[in-house]
Chains A and B, each alone.
Chain A
């Protein structure tokens, strides 16, 4: 039998052209580009905050309190305690962009582990993990946060802990579903035929294939977490004062909101633009991954 001359194969005859990774194709989605621009703007602001010629965020200007509106010295005016709003918004970006990603990454570590274990082992492992998650998910989310923070006290670390507890079950559900469908794929069987360990199959064969849906979810969750941090700040459960915190700034301004609406408006605009950025980015990534 001869199979030599009849079947030369080369890459040039492959059926489809390679599609580059999701992130590299990002520029082709206008929605994603706008979202990314908003996020990058705030990331840049947070990064260069110490270099900007701003008032210290916690310095009180008693003279400005008489005219808290926009002046040459305080471009966006001052808050009820006479602190420069622009400076506090800029430094507040630093807080939110440090705490939110940290919290979401931590939530992903816990949630993905839970999802991998329950999707892979099924049976009682799945039952325990999924039911525990269901209990957490059955709480109204704000109440859950209030219960947690009220008990362990407001601090950056405790915000992270609260976000992990509240978000991990949702992440676990996504990963569990993906893993369960991937388990039927033949490359998993091929891995068993190489005597790969369970941990290897989970981390090297399964987890990388959950990437695309998780990137989108990651961006969305960052947006939600920023809302959460804002809400906690508004409820007085955010970062302890005098740290600049967008949600806390809105809360402090509420008593004067009819007289000096700018004190609540500017931090709200900051909050909304950052959340919008992450949501648009997530939308754009979904659109791109569906175009495959």
Chain B
């Protein structure tokens, strides 16, 4: 018998606009000790499912049909008190935001001790404290005794998530629900948390229901994967089978919108899924994916309810045409086209560029003697964990901040100490920016055409009646209907807002576009469309793009050159091809190995960084990375700043390790098809 068996579940919410079936019909079985991954974009009903299992649907939500059988008992219809006994002891949950899961006014130790004390009346305080310390040791938090005495704000994000996992496992639950537990964490921290989950699962034989929009993460943790769309399971298969042979058009679409390891923008462009996820209860009843499906066939797909059909052993798919679909196109190892020629002088050249913030009597060096060059028409990606100084550089470049020392030459002008107000209008128009948050990028009080028209007038591109025509042209450039200009930002989806932001940035015909994580807040299928659009416009206008990202898969796909930053300094810089092959800087190597790859057939070398990124107020005097470096060679790393090693023309590595030793390592990614 399955540990958790969800049968024909229907969850409805009552809203002012009537009853909405957030989950119309859903079935799922999870065996004891199994790890099941559930993927889907936001709005597909994943979190609603978790809430239904936990019985946290609020006053307006209810299970109106079906059963949630946990260890044979229907917990959807259990009273409050028996349900409370199951929650926390037999079923535990880890949420996305570790910060909000912990009580800020209690020490970590007291919060952890509450779990055994609440679930076992006989246990004493001393025994509870021992349990808590043991749980912290199990999640590899160094010095559990000191962590117990600390308050949550004294821990980093990754440490907090470990504490939450420790708390969830304290009661030794049979089922652990994970709702995007690593979203918002840095890749290196994420990789360590995923390792931890795999290890704990083996140790405790806990079943996992892992919910994520990130196929790469799911591929690392889960044995079986279900794909959810519009509140229904559309495909379910063992992990390897799902990635090797996706059957449902939605699954295929999700995979095609992700950059595959080894593919780049010239060999294998991303294929986005048209449209957006329908609002809850508004999907077509026959096949929810009907309106977005490239294979939809009238009379077949819209004829009636489609059930989950067996496509292969243990592989089911909810598609009427699954057998007729063409085989999946494997990513072509096509020839890499040459980079666009760039004989010109670089358009951006930073030399010893620093930005220091005074904090009390000390100095926080957000950028420390950066050396960064960007060529005309190229895409320069800057990667690194949060706190590496990527965004500070972006702001200095765009003029939203000013450097405190060093030189920054943009289009032949020295701008290091000159923010926007001290730059001339032409230069300001020439360096524009696309921001990260679709919700904050447009002023909610003005229609979306307004910032476009305003930018056109301010930059002297158009005046009078021309403005309207230019606004139309800009909207068409980002493939939005011109009528959209009168809409207010809240009427637009996240992807549409980012398109408007791109149109706004291109209003003044910029020569340099600074894109600070422009797609990290978007769903994968929308991400692909925005990336394609950005690259198409960039290539057409020969704009130089400085692309800030933490997503190495995406960077590998779209960048021409890459700069790797850590704690305000450049660790490695070079062409994208050079950077993803040995020789690596040890930090680059660790970053690459931490990146979740949405393909179980790609074997990744396992390098995990110890500890946390040091405080930028107390940086190591030698190599910035020395405190966490797995390849530290000795005292020299701690005391002496590393030399610059030229590995190839344009490829530099700041490291004490001799170049030949750096060359001698194996590549991080290896293709190893399963038998």
What residues make up the interface of A, taking CB atoms closer than 8 Å to B? 1-3, 6-11, 13-19, 28, 184-187, 189-190, 192-196, 205, 208-209, 211, 291
Cross-chain contact of A190 among B276, B277, B435, B436 (Cβ < 8 A): B435
Give the residue name and chain of the A residue nearest to B525 (CB): A7
> Taking A15-B279, A16-B490, A16-B491 as contacts, is the C-beta distance between A8 and B435 under 8 angstroms?
no
Cross-chain contact of A193 among B400, B445, B494 (Cβ < 8 A): B400
> Taking A1-B532, A195-B420 as contacts, is the C-beta distance between A190 and B433 under 8 angstroms?
yes
> In the complex, what distance in Å separates the CA atom of A16 from the CA atom of B493?
7
> In the complex, what distance in Å separates the CA atom of A205 from the CA atom of B442?
10
> In the complex, what distance in Å separates the CA atom of A165 from the CA atom of B421?
36
Produce 1/0 per residue, B505-543, CB < 8 A to A.
000000000000000000000000100110110010000
* Inter-chain contacts of A17 with B (CB < 8 A): 491
Q: What's the A-B contact tally at a CB cutoff of 8 Å?
A: 116
5 nearest A-B residue pairs (beta carbon): A208-B445, A186-B435, A15-B493, A7-B529, A185-B440
> In the complex, what distance in Å separates the CA atom of A6 from the CA atom of B279?
21
> Taking A7-B479, A187-B443, A192-B400 as contacts, is the C-beta distance between A19 and B490 under 8 angstroms?
yes
Given A3-B536, A186-B435, A190-B501: 15 more A-B contacts, CB < 8 Å: A6-B271, A6-B272, A6-B532, A9-B496, A11-B483, A13-B493, A14-B491, A186-B441, A190-B433, A192-B399, A192-B400, A193-B398, A193-B432, A195-B420, A195-B428
Please give the distance in Å from B228's CB to the nearest CB on chain A.
Answer: 18
CB of B611 within 8 A of chain A? no
CB pair B428–A3 under 8 Å, yes or no, is: no
Chain B CB count within 10 A is highest, among A6, A8, A184, for A6
Cross-chain contact of A13 among B276, B428, B436, B499 (Cβ < 8 A): B276
Produce 1/0 per residue, B285-309, CB < 8 A to A.
0000000000000000000000000
> Taking A1-B532, A6-B272 as contacts, is the C-beta distance between A209 and B490 under 8 angstroms?
no
CB of B265 within 8 A of chain A? yes
Give the residue name and chain of the A residue nearest to B275 (CB): A13
Chain B CB count within 10 A is highest, among A8, A16, A189, A291, for A189
> In the complex, what distance in Å separates the CA atom of A59 from the CA atom of B493?
66
**Interface size range of chain B in the complex:** 35 or more
Chain B CB count within 10 A is highest, among A17, A28, A195, A211, for A195
CB pair B481–A18 under 8 Å, yes or no, is: no
* Those of B260-281 within 8 Å (CB) of chain A: 265, 269, 271-272, 274-277, 279
> In the complex, what distance in Å separates the CA atom of A9 from the CA atom of B529?
11
* Inter-chain contacts of B425 with A (CB < 8 A): 195
CB pair A189–B400 under 8 Å, yes or no, is: yes
CB pair A3–B533 under 8 Å, yes or no, is: yes
CB pair B428–A193 under 8 Å, yes or no, is: yes
> In the complex, what distance in Å separates the CA atom of A193 from the CA atom of B433?
8
* Inter-chain contacts of B479 with A (CB < 8 A): 3, 7-9
CB pair B265–A18 under 8 Å, yes or no, is: no
Give the residue name and chain of the B residue nearest to A208 (CB): B445
* Inter-chain contacts of A7 with B (CB < 8 A): 272, 274, 479, 529, 532-533
Please give the distance in Å from A24's CB to the nearest CB on chain B.
Answer: 13
CB pair A18–B420 under 8 Å, yes or no, is: no
> Taking A6-B529, A14-B496 as contacts, is the C-beta distance between A194 and B458 under 8 angstroms?
yes
Please give the distance in Å from A291's CB to the nearest CB on chain B.
Answer: 8
CB of B200 within 8 A of chain A? no
> In the complex, what distance in Å separates the CA atom of A145 from the CA atom of B487?
47
> In the complex, what distance in Å separates the CA atom of A3 from the CA atom of B487?
24
* Inter-chain contacts of A14 with B (CB < 8 A): 276, 487, 491-493, 496
Please give the distance in Å from A102's CB to the nearest CB on chain B.
Answer: 26
CB of B451 within 8 A of chain A? yes
* Inter-chain contacts of B490 with A (CB < 8 A): 16, 18-19
> In the complex, what distance in Å separates the CA atom of A9 from the CA atom of B292?
11
Cross-chain contact of B458 among A15, A186, A195 (Cβ < 8 A): A195
Please give the distance in Å from B211's CB to the nearest CB on chain A.
Answer: 20
